[in-house]
Amino acid sequence: SQNLDLYPMPCNDVCNIRLNTFSDKAAIFSIYDLTGKMVFQKFMEIPENNIVTLPVSGQVNGGYILKVTGKTDSACKLFLVR
């Protein structure tokens, strides 16, 4: 999705998310493994620089889906944890 940039890729201890075109000031950040199981969810404020940092150090190496859901905007992106 063009709305989200994740870095570093693959993510290690943290995953930084740049919300490029998000108009909402807060959102629910959900991480799902590739079986569809939710492994993380948190409601967070979106700072003025539009960059949010999520912890991923407790996750097993592999692929995950990030879903960001605000009042008016939402976006999903696949990412890797190593």
The tens digit of pLDDT for each residue in 15-26 reads 999 998 888 899
- Residue 11 carries which DSSP code? B
Is 67's pLDDT higher than 80? yes
Q: What is the pLDDT of residue 20?
A: 86
pTM for the structure as a whole: 0.91
Whose structure tokens read 């989200």?
Answer: 4
